[in-house]
Amino acid sequence: MSTTSSSTESLDAISTVRSPDLEPAPYVPPPSEAPRKTILPLKLMDPFRWLRRGAGDLMAHPGIALFYGVAFTTMALVLGAVFRNSPEYTMTIASGCLLVGPFLAMGLYEVSRRRDEGLTPALGASIVCWDRHVPSMAMLVLVLIVLELLWGRASLVVFAVFFNTGMPSTTSVVQAVFSPQNLEFVFAYAVVGGGFAVLVFALTVVSIPMILDRDTDAISAAITSIKVFLKNTGVMVMWGALLTGLLVVAMALPWHLGLLLVGPWLGHATWHAYRGAVQWPADESPANPVENSVASP
């Protein structure tokens, strides 16, 4: 009886005085077994190396490049015609281009990817390479369309501030842009448009190639793309300026015919930009050298 009473008192004492060391430890998830990527530092000459390698892909498969060049040129012609004749539908057509454009670009990435792996690219395979990545691509395209709609709304606010007589015609907009009396409007519109352009560029600079290469989700790909932009801001800004400049020159030619060459060229080069900025464990093997800034030209 005394033994039972003593045991009961001991249990009561333990339950009354709890040591903090006996509290259950918080749950710590196990480390991920997924391959860990490395964001590489870039040099200012790397964008020119990407362009050179993109030109090599284009010249190796000119027929495939011509197909995508015609597609890009057609999109530009349609968008330009709508802007001139029915500017109220420009945002709708631009949304359609945002739906189609990433899938076209992924086809060019597939050609470059297969060349990197020593495989023979094919037009049919490049056209349907996105079919295994539909959920991720759909999410990314949705984000792009939302950003485009926000940019359109912000543009309307800028127009409303500077054109209080109503929405100007296409001719009035062109005259306003080139008029020295509207420098405030040009500055405000450039700041708004440039801000959204930088955001879209940061989100997509390597995200679509990464989705193709690793079949990752859109959020992880976009976060990686932003990290690449932030870690190599100077190089990425120069890369974006090169892309913009080449596209402007291409579209300045009659009928935007420059896109026949520049569109596929930049698509291939973007793949090499991804390979040069993001390294995966498998890339470290001699059989699959990474295209970073320390690679031989």
CB atoms within 10 A of CB 247: 18
Write down the pLDDT at residue 223: 94
- For the stretch 111-148, pLDDT in tens is 999 999 999 999 999 998 888 888 888 898 888 888 87
Write down the pLDDT at residue 159: 75
CB atoms within 10 A of CB 219: 13
- For the stretch 144-192, pLDDT in tens is 888 878 887 887 787 777 766 555 565 566 666 666 677 787 788 788 8
Give the pair of three-digit tokens for residue 288: 């699959």
Contact criterion met (CB below 8 Å) for 253 and 246? no
Could you tell me which residues come within 8 angstroms of residue 77 by beta carbon, excluding any fewer than 6 positions away? 255, 256
Domain ranges in the chain are 43-281
Q: Report how far residue 73's alpha carbon sits from residue 251's, in angstroms, rounded to the nearest whole number.
A: 9
Q: Report how far residue 110's alpha carbon sits from residue 119's, in angstroms, rounded to the nearest whole number.
A: 11
pLDDT for residue 294 is more than 70: no
- For the stretch 70-116, pLDDT in tens is 999 998 888 878 777 766 555 556 655 666 677 788 999 999 999 99
Residue 75: Cβ-neighbour burial (10 angstroms; 0-12, 13-18, 19+): buried
For range 281-291, the mean pLDDT:
51
pLDDT for residue 226 is more than 90: yes
Contact criterion met (CB below 8 Å) for 66 and 260? yes
Contact criterion met (CB below 8 Å) for 99 and 139? no
pLDDT band (50, 70, 90) for residue 27? low
Write down the pLDDT at residue 178: 61
Q: Report how far residue 169's alpha carbon sits from residue 86's, in angstroms, rounded to the nearest whole number.
A: 10
